[in-house]
Amino acid sequence: MPLVRVSMRKGRTDHQKKVILEQIYLAMRATFDVPEDDRFMILSEHDEVDFVFGRSYLDIERTDELVIIQLTVNNTRTPEQKRALYAEITRRLETEADLRPQDVFIGLIETARENWSMGNGIAQYA
């Protein structure tokens, strides 16, 4: 049950935003065994003053096209699955959304299964 938050500078079209979200979802399905329709995604756009990042942190040259992806997930995936997810998201966004790999920043937050309620006040995974 990933919860995906995507942050970027303002200026992309609705179509571009839809493609970005779709490709992240497809990458999760391919690498994290995410079930069909397990899609909970929030996209936020920011003015320049509200979107600050290290343009060359770790010798990676980033541009204003940077997309920051934060995924909150169950702590059930292996390091290999995580590496596969990062690579697949980046590959898909480069191919389908014309994003440079240097402009794809991914952060993964893991939580215990009992920390979710997807409705009705019930911890469905507990």
Domain boundaries, the chain: 3-50+64-115
Task: Indicate the pLDDT class of residue 55, thresholds 50, 70 and 90.
Answer: very high
CATH of domain 3-50+64-115: 3.30.429.10
Question: Across the chain, what does the average pLDDT equal?
Answer: 95
Backbone dihedral angles phi then psi of residue 7, each to the nearest 5 degrees: -120, 140
Which among 2, 35, 79, 101 is annotated as catalytic? 2
* 86/99 Cα distance (integer angstroms): 14
CB burial of residue 104 (10 Å; 0-12, 13-18, 19+): buried
2 is catalytic: yes
Q: Which segment of 18-22, 32-36, 93-97, 103-107 scores lowest on mean pLDDT?
A: 32-36
Tell me if 23 sits within 8 A of 89, measured CB to CB: yes
Statement: residue 83 has pLDDT above 80: yes
* 12/3 Cα distance (integer angstroms): 22
